[in-house]
Structure 1
Amino acid sequence: MNQASPRTDHPADSREIERAVLDFARNEPELGQAAVAERLRVAGMQISASGVRYLWQKHGLETAVKRLQALAGNDGGGIDALTENQRRLLERGELTARLARGEPEGSSNADHSADSTSELLDRRQMILTAAAELFSEQGYDRSSIRDIARRVGLLPGSVYHYFPSKDELYLEIHREGFKRVLDRAQAAAKEGIDPWDRLRRACEVHVSGIVEGSPVDRITGHSLSFSGNKDLLAKIQPYRESYEDVFRSLIKSLPLAPGTDRSLLRLFLFGGMNWIYLWYREGGRTPKDIADAMVDMLRRGVQA
């Protein structure tokens, strides 16, 4: 089967686009082909997701595992050159590759006595990550269990072994995502020296999760994939409420002008933070800078 060549509007720029695609493979190996194509589109480089995949295949980098392996090998520091999230992703990907080859779940070249229960949990986490990526890239309604299974190299029946339905998979992403960000926000707030500083630190965690976090973190923050299904929204709401309770408490502690509607202030702040995913571009302000500026505008106002 012949590979399709990259689809670009400016063929003369093909070398520049190829370099940019390879830069993403080195600098952000976890990103999928659709995400890279979108980043390049924003930068003014027109290439399809299949075009990104073609270029990755050309250089033997078509999977996240291969890109991570190349990064570890080229850096000289081996696996220690990877971040903690990258190491976990690489380990999960190598597990999937062994399973696809028909090797027993407990087998490993590094440690044949690895706990199979741990590997089962890894595979479950791998499915969650892949589902979050797809829900963000193409929406909940347009993502199928078959799509998710294909991304992690499993049969659809294997996905159903862990999650009885797509709805349950979507809900579990939010359960885990809200737990992660809740724990991080609470820990960050405790480091604050006063009520405003505690709110600022919690907002930094929230914004960073949306623009820099894992696929599970990002989809929890802005629910990009939400389909309008009211039943799903109702099931997610208790987890969202638990997380928002952290901010209710932080805002309740703020020294505010008499008559200030603290509930409206909280919703205003969340609305501003949750929409960052629409306009955020790398190379400008950092997530921390954005969160700090938002809190500072709330605290001091903007009138001259």
Structure 2
Amino acid sequence: MTHLSKSTNTHDPKIEQAIVQLAHDNPMLGQAAVAERLQQSGLKISASGVRYIWKKHGLETAVKRLQALTAKHEEGLDALKENERRLLERGLVTHQLSQAGLYTELGEDVPLERRQIILNAAAELFSEQGYNRTSMREIASKAGLLPGSVYHHFTSKEELFIAVHKEGFRAVMAKVQAAISKHTDPWESLRSACEMHVNQMFSGTPVDRLTGHSLAFTHNELLSLIKPERDAYEKVFKDLIAALPLAPHVDRSLLRLTLLGAMNWVFIWYKEGKRSTIEIADAIVEMIRKGVES
């Protein structure tokens, strides 16, 4: 009966306020410790009652309480002790990995997955606000990590930009090659490659999308840093076009540039609605193959 009488005090505004305040003042305390401390001050509440109030305010885990604390203080993460910052970082990484379906329990391979989270966060910010307006601190915040953790993996923003695109080109190259491996007909191989190329601009991970968008630009000085990866990717299309049965007078190099230009330009004008990205890619290949004259 004593337990029940304490639990009913979850409706006492004074107790609720004390629990929330203590969550901000000492976020590392567990529910039993909070209940004991409040009981010593004359406020009757059980451990389960504390948890009830925590859940009501979205404070049921230490990570959530630490997030609330950083949001409350202008200093942000600097308001936390070192052990609190590490716990918050670890908890946010776990959450993001779980959301992405990459990892459900932290283990020895966390550094590899943490690197992927950083790449995705950087890709999102580079896409949304551009390279120059994105800082390493913003990338760390987006990834739910401390700036030092980002610098542990990437020494500079430029290095991170290169890594994002290398990962993106590796991924899209693998997808294109997997798509064309299903065909023996050279036109069908080209069609599948083009479908994947256009689709990558609008779907997939943030890294995939940023890489796809970058294919639409040729004069950005940063792209010179990823020229080897871009050239290797374009060689896939060079080989596909070399295999096509074309008329002798056709300039295959010009055909490749025309095809890539048409596909890359989709990023500039495409809006969801009339046609899907797959249908657009198919139409581009069909026009090149059969022409447009009636």
Confirm whether residue 270 of structure 1 aligns to residue 270 of structure 2: no
The residue aligned with 1:84 is none
In structure 2, do the counterparts of structure 1 residues 265 and 176 end up closer, same or farther at CA, with 3 Å as the change threshold?
A: same
Confirm whether residue 214 of structure 1 aligns to residue 205 of structure 2: yes
Structure 2, unpaired ranges of 5+: 1-57, 59-63, 65-83
The residue aligned with 1:291 is 281
Letter in 2 for 1:158: S
Matched residue pairs, number? Answer: 207
Q: Identity rate of aligned residues, in percent? A: 54
Decide whether the 8 Å contact of 2:93 with 2:144 is kept in 1: no
Decide whether the 8 Å contact of 2:92 with 2:144 is kept in 1: no
Decide whether the 8 Å contact of 2:162 with 2:226 is kept in 1: yes
Matches of 1:224 and 1:254 in 2, distance apart?
A: 23
Confirm whether residue 115 of structure 1 aligns to residue 115 of structure 2: no
Alpha-carbon distance, 1:179 to partner = 0.7
Q: How does 1:183-222 map to 2 (within 5 A)?
A: 183-222=174-213
Structure 1, unpaired ranges of 5+: 1-59, 61-65, 67-96
Letter in 2 for 1:303: E
In structure 2, do the counterparts of structure 1 residues 228 and 252 end up closer, same or farther at CA, with 3 Å as the change threshold?
A: closer
Partner of 2:118: helix, strand, or coil?
helix
Confirm whether residue 130 of structure 1 aligns to residue 117 of structure 2: no
Decide whether the 8 Å contact of 1:106 with 1:113 is kept in 2: no
Alpha-carbon distance, 1:217 to partner = 1.0
Matches of 2:271 and 2:208 in 1, distance apart?
A: 18
Q: How does 1:127-276 map to 2 (within 5 A)?
A: 127-223=118-214, 230=221, 232-276=222-266
In structure 2, do the counterparts of structure 1 residues 107 and 177 end up closer, same or farther at CA, with 3 Å as the change threshold?
A: closer
Matches of 1:181 and 1:221 in 2, distance apart?
A: 9
Matches of 1:300 and 1:246 in 2, distance apart?
A: 22
Decide whether the 8 Å contact of 1:138 with 1:225 is kept in 2: no
Matches of 1:152 and 1:277 in 2, distance apart?
A: 26
Alpha-carbon distance, 1:160 to partner = 0.7
Alpha-carbon distance, 1:122 to partner = 1.2
Decide whether the 8 Å contact of 1:106 with 1:112 is kept in 2: no
Matches of 1:286 and 1:302 in 2, distance apart?
A: 21
Alpha-carbon distance, 1:283 to partner = 2.6
After superposition, what is the alpha-carbon deviation per residue over 1:64-92, rounded to whole angstroms, capped at 9, x for unaligned? xx9xxxxxxxxxxxxxxxxxxxxxxxxxx
Structure number with larger C-alpha Rg: 2
After superposition, what is the alpha-carbon deviation per residue over 1:231-286, rounded to whole angstroms, capped at 9, x for unaligned? x3332010011111111110001111222111111111111111212222223211
Matches of 1:283 and 1:152 in 2, distance apart?
A: 32
Q: How does 1:5-154 map to 2 (within 5 A)?
A: 101=88, 114-116=106-108, 118-154=109-145
TM-score (norm. length: structure 2): 0.63
Decide whether the 8 Å contact of 1:210 with 1:217 is kept in 2: yes
In structure 2, do the counterparts of structure 1 residues 297 and 227 end up closer, same or farther at CA, with 3 Å as the change threshold?
A: closer
In structure 2, do the counterparts of structure 1 residues 216 and 210 end up closer, same or farther at CA, with 3 Å as the change threshold?
A: same
Decide whether the 8 Å contact of 1:252 with 1:262 is kept in 2: yes
**Aligned structure 1 segments of 4 or more residues deviating by more than 2 angstroms:** 97-108, 110-116, 224-230, 232-235
Letter in 1 for 2:259: L
After superposition, what is the alpha-carbon deviation per residue over 1:181-202, rounded to whole angstroms, capped at 9, x for unaligned? 1111111111124111100001
TM-score (norm. length: structure 1): 0.61
Letter in 2 for 1:249: D
- Aligned-residue Cα RMSD (Å) equals 3.1
Alpha-carbon distance, 1:128 to partner = 0.3
Matches of 1:159 and 1:106 in 2, distance apart?
A: 12
